[in-house]
Amino acid sequence: MPRYSSRTKSPLLLNYSKKFRKIQRKVPGREGLYLEGLAARMVDDDLEKYFQVMQQLVSQYPNEKRAYAELAAYYQGQQKIPEAIAAYQEALKIDPEFGLVLNLLAYLYLGQKEYDKAVEYFQKYVAAFPGQANPLDSLAEAYFWMGQYDQAVENYQAALKIRPDFGSDFRISYCFAVQEKYAEALRWTDHYISATPSNGEKARGYLLKGFYYHLLGRRAEAFKEWDASEALLRSVQDEYNINIIKRSRLWAYYDWGQFDLFWKAAQDRMEHRRRIQLDSEALNNSFLTYYEGF
């Protein structure tokens, strides 16, 4: 059955939708079908109609690689993995260097823990786009999940040579952390913080540093990093990730056996979640009961 969204559409969005429909109906051929599919997915939230339009596209235009990629993504979202793989392969028959599909198919195999196939397609992605950071970063991620941390770091560093602000240093730090090489993990986190131009991303780095210090039992330094992270998050009005900082603090108090401070931090977190209307009241009350049990 078609699935429709229960979200209430604003008057502005409804007006936009009407205008989009008028334009869509006037466009013929392949482009018109793409617009019809876009309207089904984005305006009506009707995935079944969207799927049908993509099928129509590949039927009428068998060399339309993008439509096969869209079909594959649909199948993947429905957990129809063999069908998704087949659709991705059809797109690659049309264009063996279709970077989007090489990347998505590799990640699909990675999610299925078919590591050899994931690496094979990530390597094809790297070969198809020499001099770009993302293929190397993606290949590094496969090696990370395989537990081959040296190869992961090598490819993450190669991505950074191409684009120093790509963010791979964040993942390099994590490679060292899972090996309990915390000095290197902290060094690469500092590298990430200094390289990224975004306050929101810098905050992410300080959050991670605080977590490492927490694991090392260096309490004062952990809280200092989390305070720095929260200050940056407030500067960009990122209330959701402030919630993550508050969660980090409360579990740090628990790990250190400071149960009065743990309970106060838990109440503070729940008050924050209520204020920003994060999840339902029932769920937030359940969280608080859970914390109280500890």
Three-state DSSP class for residue 13: helix
Using only C-alpha atoms, the chain has a radius of gyration, in whole angstroms, of: 24
Q: Do residues 243 and 276 touch, judged by C-beta distance below 8 A?
A: yes
Look up residue 44 and give its DSSP letter. S
Q: Tokens 């729940």 belong to which residue?
A: 270
Tell me how far apart the alpha carbons of residues 207 and 242 are, in angstroms, rounded to a whole number: 10
Q: Quick one: fold of 198-294? A: 1.25.40
Look up residue 85 and give its DSSP letter. H
Boundaries of every domain in the chain: 198-294
Tell me how far apart the alpha carbons of residues 135 and 177 are, in angstroms, rounded to a whole number: 23
Answer left, alpha or beta for residue 280, where phi above 0 means left and psi between -120 and 50 means alpha: beta
pTM of the model: 0.83
Tell me how far apart the alpha carbons of residues 70 and 5 are, in angstroms, rounded to a whole number: 20
pLDDT tens across the length of the chain (294 residues): 333 333 444 454 455 566 656 666 667 788 888 888 888 887 778 889 989 989 999 999 999 999 999 999 999 999 999 999 999 999 999 999 999 999 999 999 999 999 999 999 999 999 999 999 999 999 999 999 999 999 999 999 999 999 999 999 999 999 999 999 999 999 999 999 999 999 999 999 999 999 999 999 999 999 999 999 999 999 999 999 999 999 999 999 999 999 999 999 999 999 999 999 999 999 999 999 999 999
